[in-house]
């Protein structure tokens, strides 16, 4: 079947015919649509939510905000867009980011090719027609030459699996699926289960309203202060004045934002006083800059222990009650090996009398009852429970769709031992199926928006090339995929990241294979690799003419 660039919806089959189906209307789906339209392709986005925004649509919990500075966490593809949008805070909060994404959707008239309230249920590659046969949960059938998963890395909430949870008679919330109308906790007793980024951002906000807050912590996380505040207009002007240069710096940087490049110093070769000064100045600067204070923090256990000790001292300094402080100090895994959190008043909140920390390592959670949460030691009566227990990261969204490639190979089978991709972009056996910021790419170890733009631009070039020279199909060879998977694992193995039970490794989901999913080689190096692959005739891929 030849797919034309004009939309045809055949009355006989009621099949929607597209060039490309894009799954998800988050930051990646929005930009992908924009680029494919410019190529003259008929593309359409399908989205389960009622509107655009992806992660910023779903994660509306109190305190949700980006932890990369706002200007850096914005699209770069349109200079006009960048100049006309003014961020109000150093780290924008969720409502402002969602307003921005709505603005982008309107400005580029994206919604006219978006279908909301609709999930993609299945996507099967049809070898006879070289097309993807896609079905929605509303019964729509779509045939498309390209299928693009813009499904996000942290979009499927980790399901609560607590004994007795259904008995609880009060309301429960998951930070990743927060009610749109908000929640008023005024005067309520609230349990928060989990102490990852979502909890660390929301607990100080919840504590402003609640009468009692019980924080159930299984593993303490390292958190650094955001030092958030209104953006100084001079900072915005400075950013815009050097816009080209700044955007270029992001592209070649380690993690897609300017401060992510480690300084030249090694912690282990720096004197005690100077090392302390460097850490202090990074702490004062705020955000992720602490993690990149020294080049050896992520790879050398001795250097890492120095960063860990500095962070622990800070916790002991901030939290007045020594026992609580000690419980909050992470132990047993390297600094930064679980994703570093960036907070506003997290440790300070434990100095308030109505905020209580329950250490589940000492007293495990046994059950949820009609009226609260019980541990091996005590019962806590609460009016509401907040599950801040994270996501089925990186593979969760794809595993929820029935995807089959050539010869009926299902993605579940192909990824039974963990995700395998070439460059995080494609999977052997799944021609013309693309994963934006998929496993095996820098994705969650980077400023997502920079990595998204890089993938979308690369894919747009590829699709433009295929269309231009009459290539029907592309997929990676098994050898190139295997080599990439080995490379991803090998360099992760040189770091301390694999030494923590993190969601990077799938450790938070029972039964998930333990594989380090993102590519840790750095945004700049990865971009160079992808560019070289394209420049060398899409090296490592098989391309087939129609
Ligand atoms: O989820 P998490 P998150 N019993 O997986 C605990 C991004 N993000 O939503 O560590 C008790 O980090 C679990 O404990 P443990 C960011 O990339 C960004 O907070 O498994 N506890 C952990 O404490 C982030 O990393 C921002 O022992 C249980 C917590 O729940 C990612 O999203 C803001 C449990 C889950 O922490 C995920 O963050 C928010 C159980 N059965 C999120 N199961 C920004 O700032 C789980 N836990 C941009």
Average pLDDT estimate for 531-537: 98
Q: What are the boundaries of each domain within the chain?
A: 5-156+393-545, 157-222+336-390
**Pairing state between β 15-23 and 43-46:** parallel
Atom 15 of ligand 1, nearest CA residue: 219
* CA angle at 52 for the pair 208 and 18, rounded to the nearest 5°: 160
Atom 9 of ligand 1, nearest CA residue: 390
Domain 157-222+336-390 in CATH: superfamily? FAD/NAD(P)-binding domain (3.50.50.60)
Q: Ligand 1, residue 199: give the atom nearest the CA.
A: 19
To test the pocket of ligand 1, the residue of 163, 194, 222 to mutate (highest count of ligand atoms within 8 Å of its CB) is 194
The candidate with the shortest Cα–Cα distance to 517, out of 445, 455, 433, 450, is: 445
pLDDT at 541 over 80: yes
Q: Ligand 1, residue 503: give the atom nearest the CA.
A: 5
Q: Ligand 1, residue 68: give the atom nearest the CA.
A: 48
| Separation of CA 1 and ligand 1 centre (Å) | 46
**pLDDT for the residue 14:** 83
**pLDDT for the residue 12:** 43
Atom 5 of ligand 1, nearest CA residue: 390
Give kind and range of the element (H or E) at residue 358.
strand 355-359
Residue 107 contacts by C-beta under 8 Å, 6 or more apart in sequence?
A: 81
Entry pTM: 0.96
- Give the range among 64-68, 288-292, 410-414 with minimum mean pLDDT: 288-292
Tokens representing residue 265 in the block: 């110093």
The candidate with the shortest Cα–Cα distance to 55, out of 193, 198, 184, is: 198
| Separation of CA 390 and ligand 1 centre (Å) | 4
Q: Is the CB of 388 under 6 A from ligand 1?
A: yes
Q: Do domains 5-156+393-545 and 157-222+336-390 have the same CATH topology?
A: yes
CB atoms within 10 A of CB 129: 13
Q: Is the CB of 198 under 6 A from ligand 1?
A: yes
CA distance 193 to 64: 16
In this prediction, what percent of the chain has a pLDDT beyond 90? 96
Average pLDDT estimate for 147-153: 98
DSSP for 451-502, written as a single string: HHHHHHHHHHHHHHHHHHHTEEEEEE-HHHHHHHHHHHHHHHHTSSGGGS--
Q: Ligand 1, residue 175: give the atom nearest the CA.
A: 9
Q: Is the CB of 406 under 6 A from ligand 1?
A: no
Q: Is the CB of 199 under 6 A from ligand 1?
A: yes
| Separation of CA 410 and ligand 1 centre (Å) | 29
Identify any residues that bridge with 18 across adjacent strands, giving them in sequence order: 144
| Separation of CA 113 and ligand 1 centre (Å) | 34
pLDDT at 3 over 90: no
Give the chain's mean pLDDT.
96
Average pLDDT estimate for 110-122: 98
Average pLDDT estimate for 53-57: 98
| Separation of CA 125 and ligand 1 centre (Å) | 35
CA Rg, the chain, in Å? 24
CA distance 131 to 123: 10
Identify the band that residue 186 occupies on the pLDDT scale cut at 50, 70 and 90. Answer: very high
Question: What is 5-156+393-545's CATH number?
Answer: 3.50.50.60
**pLDDT for the residue 13:** 53
In tens, the pLDDT along 63-97 reads 999 999 999 999 999 999 999 999 999 999 999 99
Atom 26 of ligand 1, nearest CA residue: 197
CA dihedral 72, 74, 76, 79 (to 10 degrees): -110
Average pLDDT estimate for 187-200: 98
To test the pocket of ligand 1, the residue of 72, 198, 286, 361 to mutate (highest count of ligand atoms within 8 Å of its CB) is 198
Q: Is the CB of 508 under 6 A from ligand 1?
A: yes
Average pLDDT estimate for 288-309: 96
| Separation of CA 398 and ligand 1 centre (Å) | 20
Identify the band that residue 262 occupies on the pLDDT scale cut at 50, 70 and 90. Answer: confident
Answer positive or negative: Cα dihedral of 165, 169, 175, 180.
Answer: positive
Q: Ligand 1, residue 342: give the atom nearest the CA.
A: 45
pLDDT at 2 over 80: no
CA distance 540 to 532: 11
In tens, the pLDDT along 415-435 reads 999 999 999 999 999 999 999
Q: Is the CB of 195 under 6 A from ligand 1?
A: yes
Tell me 362's DSSP state.
T
Answer positive or negative: Cα dihedral of 86, 92, 97, 99.
Answer: negative
CA distance 278 to 504: 28
To test the pocket of ligand 1, the residue of 386, 444, 508, 512 to mutate (highest count of ligand atoms within 8 Å of its CB) is 508
Average pLDDT estimate for 148-164: 97
Q: Is the CB of 503 under 6 A from ligand 1?
A: yes
Q: Ligand 1, residue 64: give the atom nearest the CA.
A: 33
Tokens representing residue 399 in the block: 């595993």
Average pLDDT estimate for 335-350: 98
In tens, the pLDDT along 373-395 reads 999 999 999 999 999 999 999 99
């Amino acid at each position: 079947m030849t797919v034309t660039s004009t939309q045809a919806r055949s009355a006989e089959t009621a099949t929607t015919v597209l060039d490309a189906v894009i799954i998800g209307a988050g930051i990646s789906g929005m930009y992908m649509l924009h680029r494919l339209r410019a190529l003259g392709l008929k593309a359409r986005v399908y989205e389960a939510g009622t509107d655009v925004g992806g992660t910023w649509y779903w994660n509306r919990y109190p305190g949700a905000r980006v932890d990369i500075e706002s200007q850096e966490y914005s699209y770069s593809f349109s200079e006009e867009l960048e100049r006309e949008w003014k961020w109000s805070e150093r780290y924008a909060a969720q409502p402002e980011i969602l307003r921005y994404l709505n603005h982008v959707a309107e400005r580029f008239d994206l919604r006219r090719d978006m279908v909301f309230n609709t999930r993609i249920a299945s996507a099967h590659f049809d070898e006879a027609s070289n097309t993807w046969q896609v079905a929605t949960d509303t019964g729509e059938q779509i045939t498309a030459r390209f299928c693009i998963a813009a499904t996000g890395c942290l979009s499927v909430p980790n399901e609560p699996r607590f004994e007795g949870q259904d008995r609880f008679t009060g309301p429960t919330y998951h930070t990743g699926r927060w009610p749109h109308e908000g929640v008023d906790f005024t005067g309520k007793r609230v349990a928060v289960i989990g102490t990852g980024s979502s909890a660390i951002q929301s607990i100080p906000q919840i504590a402003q309203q609640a009468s009692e807050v019980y924080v159930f912590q299984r593993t303490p996380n390292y958190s650094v202060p955001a030092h958030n505040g209104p953006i100084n207009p001079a900072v915005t002007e400075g950013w815009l004045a050097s816009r080209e240069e700044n955007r270029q710096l992001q592209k070649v940087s380690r993690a897609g934002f300017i401060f992510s490049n480690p300084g030249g110093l090694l912690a282990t070769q720096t004197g005690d006083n100077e090392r302390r000064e460097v850490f202090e100045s990074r702490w004062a600067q705020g955000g992720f800059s602490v993690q990149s204070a020294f080049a050896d923090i992520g790879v050398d256990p001795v250097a890492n222990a120095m960063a860990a000790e500095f962070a622990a001292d800070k916790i002991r300094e901030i939290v007045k009650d020594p026992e609580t402080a000690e419980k909050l100090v992470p132990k047993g895994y390297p600094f930064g090996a679980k994703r570093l959190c960036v907070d506003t008043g997290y440790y300070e909140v434990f100095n308030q009398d109505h905020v209580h920390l329950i250490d589940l390592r000492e007293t495990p959670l046994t059950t949820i009852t009609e009226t609260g949460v019980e541990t091996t030691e005590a019962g806590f009566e609460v009016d509401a429970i907040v599950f801040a227990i994270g996501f089925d990261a990186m593979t969760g969204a794809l595993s929820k769709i029935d995807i089959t490639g050539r010869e009926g190979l299902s993605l579940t089978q192909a990824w039974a031992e963990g995700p395998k991709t070439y460059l995080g972009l494609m999977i052997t056996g799944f021609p013309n199926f693309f994963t934006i910021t998929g496993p095996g790419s820098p994705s969650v170890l980077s400023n997502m928006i920079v990595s998204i733009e890089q993938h979308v631009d690369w894919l747009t070039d590829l699709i433009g090339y295929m269309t231009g020279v009459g290539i029907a199909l592309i997929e990676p060879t098994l050898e190139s995929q295997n080599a990439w998977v080995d490379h991803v694992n090998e360099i992760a193995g040189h770091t301390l990241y694999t030494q923590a039970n993190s969601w990077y490794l799938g450790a938070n989901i029972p039964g998930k294979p333990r594989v380090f999913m993102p590519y840790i080689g750095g945004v700049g190096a990865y971009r160079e690799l992808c560019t070289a692959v394209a420049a060398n005739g899409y090296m490592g891929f098989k391309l087939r003419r129609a």
